[in-house]
Structure 1
C-alpha cells in the first residue's frame, strides 16, 4: 500500500470514529474517547493482523494472553488489545455521509471499499507488463457472510464467495486488471464499446481496453467467446482464441452438423476468423483469429503414443 492510500484509510477511520461517537454519545465506545489514529500506528495494526494469518489462534483475545503456554509477546508489546479492537471496529475507507442512497442512479454496491479497488486496479496495471499471451477468466474469493451478490460456483475451490473477472498474463498468472461482479442488474458501459455487444463481451472490452492496439493474443473460454467480439478485437490489433458454444450466433452450422471420428478435425475460415471442430472424447469447438487450421503432434499423458491436434487447441490448453 502506498502512503496516499494509508493516509486515506487513517483519515477515514478517524472520521468514522468521530461520526459514531457524535451519533451515539452514550455508547461504550464513545465513553472510551477515541484517540486519533496515525499512519505508524495503523502499520503496527496491519502487521499484527497479517501475523494472525501465520500464527493461528481461536480468538483475537487469545493473542494477548499472558499464559506462558499461549502467549505471543509481540502483540502486547505493540499495542493493547482494547486499542487493536477499537481500530478494527472503526477501520473505514469511505465517508458514509456521502454514499448515494440505494434508489439513486449512481448508487454503488462497493462504495465502502471503492477507494481500495480503484487504488489496486491502478497499481496492478503499473507494476507489471504482461507477455504477449493474456487471458480473461473469473475467480472466486471465498466469502460466506451476508451479501447480495455472493455467488455459488460448484466448480471453484471456494464454491461460495465474491466473483471477480480478471485479465491475467498467461505465463506468470499475474493479474493485470480486474472487475468485481456486483450482480446481474449492475450496469456496464466501458468506453468505446458498441451498444450491441453482450454482457460477456463488455466484460472483456472493459478489462482489455488499456492493452488494445498493442498486438496482444487473448485467450478466452466459451462464456466470453463470440464471433462479433473476435471480429471487433481484430480491428484493434488484438487477436483472440477461445472455446465457443456451438449455438453462438454466427458460428457456422455446417461445422456443427459435420460428423467426425475421434481425433478428426474440421475447419472453416471467413477472412481473419477460423472456426474449428475437433473430436476427442466429445466435440470441441474453437474460434481463432490467431491460428491456421494446421495440426501438430502432441504426446498423450501416461502413454507412449503421440496424436495430432489442431495447433489452436494446443496453444489454448497451454
Structure 2
C-alpha cells in the first residue's frame, strides 16, 4: 500500500482525501456574547446562495494536516461520566471554523448512559405532601407565607405613617393594616383575575347600583381599596439608603423568599425549560427592556426555569443590567452561560435535561452543564464557530433531509423543514441519528418541540388570569407577577396532592373567597354598617340569622342584656301570648323559655357599653 508523507507523518490516500475534502478556511465569524434583550429566537435559517456541501473550498488544501487543532472535546474529559463515553469511529471527521472536531458516525453505545437515568422522582416535597387540609389556600400559603405577608404589612404601615399627614385626620379610610386585611386585599386581586376585571374601572367593581360585584364592597370600601394600592410597599423605606447598589432592593427579599418556597415544595420532572418572561411595565425603571417578540413589548425581563410538562416555576431571577446580574466569572464564561448556571441550582446532579433557545446554546454551556450532571437540547445560531460546513444544506437539498455530526458527548443535526430553510439543533442527551418515520423529523427535533414551551406556557397561564393592575411603580408590577405565578404553582401542587379535576378558574375563585372570608367576618362585627351592606355580607358568608344577630346587633336594634332580653330566631312564629286570632308572627324569642314573643309582650333593657361590661 502506498503512503503519503506530510510533515513527517504517513497517511493513506483515503485518509488524505477525507481530511482535505472536509477542511475549511480559517475565516472567523464574530461570536462575542452580548446581552441583547431583543435577541432573535428564530429557529429556521435561510440557505445562502454559496452554501453547497458538494463543493470543496480550495483554500482547505493550503492547511497542513499537522496544523489542524483537534479540539479537546468531552471525549478526553476526566469527568465522572467519562465511563459512559465510548470511542468514535477512527475515520470520517469534519471540523468547524475554530477546528472543533466532529465525527460523521455516531458513537457506539453499549449501555444506557448514566445521564439518562433519573434518580430524583418528580412530585410534591415534604412541605406540600404532608398537608392535612387540602384547601387551595393552604397550598398557596406554602408559597406566599404568613412571614412574607407580615413583612409586606410592616412596610406598608411604614408608608401609611407618611401618607397620614397628606390625607388628614378626617379620612376614615387612612389607618394601619394587618395580615388579615392584607390577605383580603390579595383575595380581591385574585377575584379580579378570575373575572377578567384587572383592567376594569375600580368604581365599577364597587358599584352598589347592581352593576358591580357585591363581594368587593362587602370586603372593604372603594376608598380603602384604592388607598392600599397606593400604600403597598415591600421593603423598609428607612433602610433603602443602605442598599443603593442593589437596583432590585425594593422587592428582592420578598421575591427571593417566594422563589425559595417554590423550590422547597416541588420536584420537577425529567425535562426542564429555560427561557425569558417579560413582565409588562411602561413606567420609569432603569432596567426596563424592549422585546419586540413579546406581547407586552416593554417591561421587566425575568429569566425562568420551569418544568417542561407541568409548567411549574422552579427558579427565576430578574434582569437588572449587566453589572447587576453577572456572577463571579473568573473563567470568563459568556453571559448566556452564566444565566443558565445561576438557574440550575435546584436540579444540579439529577441527570435532568435543560431545553432552551438559540440565545443560550453553545458548546461552552453544554460542557458546563455536563459537569453538573445535566444534559442540554437547544437550537443553535448559524454563526457559531463550531458548526462544520459539512452539515449546512444547499438550495438543492430536499425538504425533510437531516444531517448529523457527533462527538462522544454531543450531537449536532441540521434539518430542512421546507425549501431554502434549515434548523440547527444541538443535544448532549441524544447520541444517534434516529429519524421518526411518520414525520421524517429527527428524534432530537421532536423532543425539542415537546419541551421548548415550558416558560411560554407559564407566561400564557399568568396572562389568562392576571392580577396585574395599571401601575407606575415597578415593584408592584413584580408583585403582581409573583401573585400570578403563585396561583399557577399552587394549582399544580393542589392537583398533585389531591388529584382533583377542579378547573383553574374555580381554584382561583375559591382561593380569593377563602382569603377574604376572615376579614369579612370581622367587618361584620362593626356596629355601624348599613343594613343593606350587612345583608349582602350575610348572604355571601351564608350566615344564619342567629349567628349574626347574637354576635352582631344591627344598628336599629339596641344592645340588650339580662333576663328580659330577647333574641332572634331562625323563623317567624306567632307570639305565644297573643290571641290566636291576631296571627302576629315575630322572630324575637325569650332568652329563658325560647318562646316567640311580640314587642308588646316582651321587654328590652338598654345598657351602655360600660354598664354592660
Q: TM-score range by the shorter chain?
A: 0.7 to 0.9
Instruction: Note if contact 1:226-1:244 (Cα within 8 Å) is conserved in structure 2.
Output: yes
Comparing 117-126 with 275-284, greater Cα deviation is found at 275-284
In 2: Cα distance, 1:98 partner to 1:84 partner: 27
Deviations 1:62-99 (A, max 9, x none): 333332x3243333332233322222221111012222
Among 164, 170, 175, which residue is 1:35 paired with?
A: 175
| Mapped pair 1:59 → 2:194 | no
Task: State TM-score, norm by structure 1.
Answer: 0.84
**Once the two structures are superposed, what CA deviation does each residue of 1:96-150 show, in whole Å capped at 9, x if it has no partner?**
2222479x5xx22222121221122112212221111111111222223333323
Is there any run of 5+ residues in structure 1 with no aligned partner, and where? 299-305
3-state SS of paired residue (2:279): strand
The answer for the alignment partner of 1:77 in structure 2 is 218
Change (3 A) 1:135 1:48: closer
Does residue 228 (structure 1) correspond to residue 364 (structure 2)? The answer is yes
Contact 2:205 2:216 survives alignment (8 Å):
yes
Aligned residues of 2:305 and 2:313 also touching (Cα < 8 A): yes
Counterparts of 1:248 and 1:313, CA distance in 2: 19
Decide which of 341, 346, 356 is 1:210's aligned counterpart: 346
Change (3 A) 1:262 1:60: closer
Deviation at 1:35, TM superposition (A): 2.4
Q: CA RMSD in A?
A: 2.5
Q: Could you say which residue in structure 1 is the equivalent of 2:85?
A: none
Q: 1:29 to 1:197 in 2, by over 3 A?
A: farther
* Aligned positions of 1:10-25 closer than 5 A: 10-21=153-164, 25=165
Q: Which residue of 2 is the match for residue 301 of structure 1?
A: none
| 1:289 equivalent in alignment to 2:428 | yes
Quick one: which of 222, 229, 246 aligns to 1:108? 246
Q: TM-score, normalised by structure 2?
A: 0.46
How many angstroms apart in 2 are the aligned matches of 1:185 and 1:167? 22
The aligned counterpart of 1:264 is 401
Whichever structure has more strand as a proportion of its residues is 1
**Could you tell me which residue of structure 2 aligns to residue 309 of structure 1?**
441
Residues 1:252 and 2:252 aligned together: no
Distance in 2 separating the partners of 1:91 and 1:30: 20
Deviation for aligned residue 1:9: 0.9
Shift of 1:225: 0.5
Pick one of 309, 313, 328 that aligns with 1:171: 309
Structure 2: gaps spanning 5 or more residues:
1-143, 451-613
Contact 1:276/1:293 (8 A) holds in 2: no
**Structure 1: how far apart are the matches of 2:330 and 2:169?**
53
The higher-RCO structure (CA 8 Å, 6+ apart) is 2
Q: Distance in 2 between matches of 1:313 and 1:83?
A: 54
Residues 155, 71 of structure 1: CA spacing in aligned structure 2 closer, same or farther, 3 A cutoff?
Answer: closer
Q: Which residue of 1 aligns with 2:8?
A: none
Please state whether the residue corresponding to 1:165 is helix, strand or coil: strand
